[in-house]
Amino acid sequence: MPNCIFCDIIQRKMSAKIVFEDSYSLAFEDINPKAPTHILIIPKRHIESVNAMTEEDELALGRLFLVARDLAQERKINRSGFRTVINTGHNAGQSVFHVHLHLLGGRPMAWPPG
């Protein structure tokens, strides 16, 4: 998708600290981390947001959580706990319109979110 920074990262047109890749997904460090671990996990297929999901995306989006599980184990935050977040639309603060799962951990987190 033109003008999508996350598609540019997938195509290596933009640099990022990539930590995992498979045929469905890519994971990289957030450029502005909000916790000691802050990784973004994205589907390789361009999907704007959860609002734009179709049944076809079921497998690719389910995969994001399996990647989060494995990265949480790798970073040793699986026992202390971690947060997985997908922001959708304006009120949730979505700023990049290519679905991404935030994996946040390494510190206690408040609830409800601000």
Residue 57 is classified by DSSP as G
Q: Does 113 bind ligand AMP (CB under 6 A)?
A: no
Strand, helix or coil at 32?
A: coil
Of 23-31, 42-50, 56-64, 70-78, the segment contacting ligand AMP by CB under 6 A is: 23-31
Q: How far is it, in rounded angstroms, from Cα 11 to Cα 16?
A: 11
Can 100 be counted among the known catalytic residues? yes
Binding mask 38-57 for ligand AMP (x = CB under 6 A): --x-----------------
Tally of CB atoms within 10 A around 27: 23
Q: CB 23 → ligand AMP: shortest distance, Å?
A: 21
Q: CB 16 → ligand AMP: shortest distance, Å?
A: 5
Q: How far is it, in rounded angstroms, from Cα 69 to Cα 75?
A: 10
Q: How far is it, in rounded angstroms, from Cα 109 to Cα 72?
A: 16
Among 3, 23, 32, 91, binds ligand AMP (CB under 6 A): 32
Q: Quote the distance between the C-alpha of residue 16 and its chain's center.
A: 13
Contact footprint for ligand AMP (CB under 6 A): 5, 14, 16, 28, 30-32, 40, 87, 93-96
Q: Catalytic amino acids?
A: 100
